[in-house]
Amino acid sequence: MKVHPMPSNQSPFPRREFLKQAGFATFSAAALSSFSWKSSTAQAAEPAGPVLKKAVKIGMVQEGETLLDKFKLVKSLGYDGIELNAPNDISTEEVIAARDESGLPIHGVVNSTHWQKTLTHPDPAIRKEGTESVIQSVQDSKAYGGTSVLIVLGKVQKDVSYQEAYDRSQAAMKEILPHAEDAGIHVLVENVWNNFLLSPMEEARYIDELDSPMAGAYFDVGNVVRFGWPEHWIRTLNKRIIKLDIKEYSRKLQFEEGTGKGFGVELGDGDCDWPAVMQALRDIEYSGWATAEVRGGDAERLKDIEQRMEKCFAS
């Protein structure tokens, strides 16, 4: 398959209007809250900067005996929501009870098998398991009141060529997306260190080729810093960005101690240019969820993360 650069002025999601006219009510009701499109009237009434809702990943919450305890703690620390892993072994009833009693929204889920049961795996049986796992994640997110599933598409490696990763993952996504459209749940591709979709132009083209309003980007700010600049990616991905992961990266630690060590720096203390990131988010008129993906801990640690997020967002 030939890869052609996507023109910067190409409109993403060409089927959106068609689906809207076809009466895609579930999408309209459940998903538009994640989008950043605003009428001129709404824009005039809102603050000039992005409205970012702060969240954490459930694995970061290392205090509390029960799910409800953890949810109440996160709520008390000033966070707006939380993101779970799915599929999981927690009953839906327990999850919903914790959500409702704590008043803490579950804005989405992270697919829990995407690194093992990849959509790019050489074994078709494993790819099928991975596809079914993402479909289950879609159903779980819907049941929890979420709006998205974060996925890693797979990996380019010795036994998986770039072209194979591209073709296999797109084939799997085209099986998944009809379920996502029915549920009104976004399936969002995260930019990670998987040797795949290495530029924002390529990721934008990949998403557009899926031709679904439920396909989009879950943009990880810190993951890009190793080899690029987040603000560049934000402007190119533009409206395809539905949600954000928030982390930091230090090129100094990368060069001195090793690639993975670059993440060993606190939010605001690395090489992410937060004023430039926030300006880029203003430029694309993004407002929505921003979820920390850093080392978690107890209440004191989680409060420090929340305060650091506030400082970065105020840049």
The DSSP element (H or E) to which 218 belongs, if any, is strand 215-220
Classify residue 20: in a domain, yes or no: no
Is pLDDT of 138 > 90?
Answer: yes
- The whole-angstrom separation of Cα 88 and Cα 116 is 15
Give the tens place of pLDDT for each residue, 63-97.
999 999 999 999 999 999 999 999 999 999 999 99
Q: Could you identify the residue written with the tokens 């697919």?
A: 111
Among 187, 144, 183, which Cα is nearest to 26's? 183
Classify residue 205: in a domain, yes or no: yes
Distances (CA, A) of 177 to 24, 43, 128, 224, 273: 14, 31, 14, 26, 34
Give the tens place of pLDDT for each residue, 272-313.
999 999 999 999 999 999 999 999 999 999 999 999 999 999
pTM of the model: 0.85
Residue type, 224: V
Out of 10-19, 32-41, 62-71, 121-130, pick the least confident: 32-41
Most confident of 22-26, 34-38, 40-44, 66-70: 66-70
**More confidently predicted of 254 and 13:** 254
Is pLDDT of 13 > 80?
Answer: no
Pairing of strands 106-111, 215-220: unpaired
Q: Write the CATH number for 189.
A: 3.20.20.150
Domain boundaries, position 185: 47-313
Classify residue 190: in a domain, yes or no: yes
Q: Could you identify the residue written with the tokens 């953890």?
A: 70
Q: Report the Cα 9 to chain-centroid distance in Å.
A: 24
Is pLDDT of 184 > 80?
Answer: yes
Q: How confident is the model at residue 48 (pLDDT cuts 50, 70, 90)?
A: low
Dihedral, CA of residue 209, residue 211, residue 215 and residue 221, to nearest 10: 40
Classify residue 86: in a domain, yes or no: yes
| For range 259-275, the mean pLDDT | 97
Among 262, 257, 189, which Cα is nearest to 223's? 262
Q: DSSP character for 244?
A: E
Classify residue 62: in a domain, yes or no: yes
- The whole-angstrom separation of Cα 208 and Cα 222 is 24
Classify residue 252: in a domain, yes or no: yes
Kindly report the backbone phi and psi dihedral angles of residue 44, in degrees, each rounded to the nearest multiple of 5, phi listed first: -65, -30
Is pLDDT of 250 > 50?
Answer: yes
Number of structural domains found in the chain: 1
Dihedral, CA of residue 186, residue 191, residue 195 and residue 201, to nearest 10: 90
Task: Tell me whether residue 170 is exposed, middle or buried, using C-beta atoms within 10 angstroms of its C-beta: 0 to 12, 13 to 18, 19 or more.
Answer: middle
Residue type, 268: G
